[in-house]
């Protein structure tokens, strides 16, 4: 089995704020870049990204339905499949989705290790809730 060796990761910040000294767009590095990527992938809807309709989840559609106890398991499976297929920089450890029907949101916790870099296990916790457009 071959061991993957990674180099440093860089992504631009989607807030497009400028660096105060260089006046360039702020850059996210290593674990921050990967955290942002995991959250962006999870919040992406199917057919939202041009040239690759397979990237995305149906989570946004599920947020407007009545929540039951089984929705957490379905969303965990969907997020796990998405991250395993489209985020090669991580080894996924676990995904936990906790529905909160009273407040109409899903609490998501993703645990993973970064491939090829000596960082400890990473944890991300965020909420998925419906928004009005």
- Summarised one tens digit per residue, pLDDT across range 60-110 is 777 666 666 677 888 899 999 999 999 988 999 999 998 887 887 888 999
Specify the pairing of strand 122-128 against strand 27-29. Answer: unpaired
The pLDDT assigned to 111 comes to 96
Taking the C-alpha atoms of residue 80 and residue 11, their distance in angstroms, rounded to an integer, is 22
The pLDDT assigned to 1 comes to 52
Q: 5-9, 66-70, 112-116: which range is least confident on average?
A: 5-9
Taking the C-alpha atoms of residue 110 and residue 32, their distance in angstroms, rounded to an integer, is 14
Higher-scoring residue by pLDDT: 5, 110: 110
With 0-12 / 13-18 / 19 or more C-beta atoms within 10 angstroms meaning exposed / middle / buried, residue 121 is exposed
Domains and CATH numbers, the chain: 35-128 (3.10.450.40)
pLDDT confidence tier of residue 4, bands split at 50, 70 and 90: low
The pLDDT assigned to 79 comes to 92
% of the chain at pLDDT higher than 90: 19
Token pair listed for 46? 């199917």
The pLDDT assigned to 133 comes to 45
Q: Residues 24, 30, 34, CA angle at the centre, nearest 5°? A: 100
Its pTM stands at 0.77
CA dihedral 50→58→85→49, nearest 10 degrees, is: 10
The pLDDT assigned to 6 comes to 54
Higher-scoring residue by pLDDT: 109, 2: 109
């Amino acid at each position: 089995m071959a061991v993957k060796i990674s180099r440093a990761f860089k992504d631009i910040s989607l807030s497009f704020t400028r660096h105060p000294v260089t006046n360039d767009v702020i850059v996210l590095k290593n674990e921050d870049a990967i955290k942002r990527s995991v959250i962006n992938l999870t919040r992406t809807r199917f057919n939202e990204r041009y040239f690759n309709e397979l990237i995305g989840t149906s989570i946004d559609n599920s947020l407007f339905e009545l929540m039951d106890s089984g929705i957490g398991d379905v969303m965990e499976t969907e997020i796990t499949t998405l991250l395993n297929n489209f985020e090669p920089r991580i080894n996924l450890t676990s995904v936990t989705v906790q529905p909160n029907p009273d407040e109409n949101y899903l609490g998501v916790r993703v645990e993973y290790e970064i491939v090829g870099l000596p960082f400890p296990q990473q944890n991300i916790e965020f909420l998925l809730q419906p928004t009005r457009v």
